[in-house]
Each structure stands twice: as C-alpha cells, then as structure tokens.
Amino acid sequence: MIKIFCKIDDIDIPIVSTGTSPFIGAGQFGTNAYKWRKMFLNNPDAIIEILESSYEKGSRGIEVIPSGRILDAAVFMSEKYDDYVITGSTYPGKDPRIDILNEIGAKLIFVHGMISDDRGQNLISLLDEISGYGIIPGIATHDPLQTISFCLENSLNVRAFLIPFNATGFLMGNQKKLEELVDNTKNVYFIGMKTLAAGKIKPDYAFQYISNHNICAVTIGMVSQEQAVESTKIALKSYERK
C-alpha cells in the first residue's frame, strides 16, 4: 500500500498536498499567472475539480493561502473526506488571518515568506500566535539558506519549513548548500514547494530528485485534472523509495 502521510509531531500531514500558488496567479508563472488567477481564485468549483482528481491518486491535503475562495474549496474537501488535511500560510497583509485558518481546522500553518524572510519580531510573534492555537508552527521562505539558519541558530519556535526544492535549483539560492543544510538537519521537518519549478521540470525527474533528500512531503501546484493525476501518482511512487 502506498504511503500517503508523514508524521509531524504525531500529526498526519499529507505527503502530497495541492499547492495554491497557481490559483492566486503567483508571479513565477509568468504570462500564465493572470489567466490562472482569473480561472481559479474566485471559482471554488474549478479548484475542487483539481483537488478531487489529486485525491483519487492519493493526495490528502491542500496548502492554502487565505485569499479569494480557495478556503471554500478546502473546506468542501475536508467536510467530504475525513482524512483530508488542510495546511496553510498566513496572509501577507496587516491581518495574517491565522484565526480563519484555525477555524477551518488547519493542522500546520506557515508564516508567509514575506514576513519570515525579514527575520524580525513579527516572525516570532506570528509563530507564537500559531502555536497558541495548538497548531504546528511553520515557516515558508523564499530565502531558505538565510532564514533556516537564522531560525536554527536562534532556536525559534518552528517545527517545519516550506522551502523551494527542485532539481534545477529554481529559487533555492545556492542549491548545493541548501541540500546539505536540509539533509544534515534532523530536528525539524522540511516540505518542498516549487517542486516542478513553475512547470519547467517533468514530474518523473522532479520527484526522483526529491526522493534523494530529507524532504518529508511536497506541495504541487496543478492547473488541470490531468496534471493532478500524473503529478500525484508519480510523487507518491517516488516516496516508496525513501
């Protein structure tokens, strides 16, 4: 039987979660960003189609940003399936919307990279607020080497890092140094994002690479049912080798 969960602090976290960067039209998607934002952000039915297809192949979660109607789709799935897990990132505005993520049952919340990569007091405060709800505190980062090192050196209240991790080094900074840091750090958990490098890497190659490193789970941005089926199936199969 294919393994579909890992454990973080005794909580089941999906090995494969659907990432929501395409749904918000994140900049790394270039000319497709606006098209996908218009297609998905305020259209929960379109998101649910992706989530259902991924679920059928073993994905058991979504990593949400509390924006648009993404949460409606996430709540639909969690109410339909008892084993569906919501994780999320704080909103990068004045209101981080942690209370909303708590209300929909998020098991793990990452401080958004726009806050975490400043490595200031706001990061520490948000981590404490997350853990105050009894939720696993995490950090998303777009500057992984510096931010991970800062957190470890200062013993911050963080259990998991959501980091760019892919075979081409896209948005990883110094790829070799990040690989070494991840593989040699055992007291926290690492979840890979940008795993397909904004669609530039084929899933077979992408997840073969990830399976060789200390990455306990991945988020995958997908914009079609075909992509959801293919990427979820290949990613989970790669974890059989870990």
Domain holding 212, by residue range, is 5-239
Distance between CA atoms of residues 170 and 185, nearest Å: 21
- Give the chain's domain count: 1
Taking only the tens of pLDDT, the chain with its 242 residues reads 689 999 999 999 999 999 999 999 988 888 889 999 999 999 999 999 999 999 999 999 999 999 999 999 999 999 999 999 999 999 998 999 999 999 999 999 999 999 999 999 999 999 999 999 999 999 999 999 999 999 999 999 999 999 999 999 999 999 999 999 999 999 999 999 999 998 899 999 999 999 999 999 999 999 999 999 999 999 999 998 76
Q: Rounded distance, CA 221 to CA 63, Å?
A: 10
Best CA proximity match to 189, nearest among 7, 17, 12: 7
Residue corresponding to tokens 């994780």? 87
CATH of the domain at 81: 3.20.20.100
Cβ-based neighbour number of residue 90 at 10 Å: 25
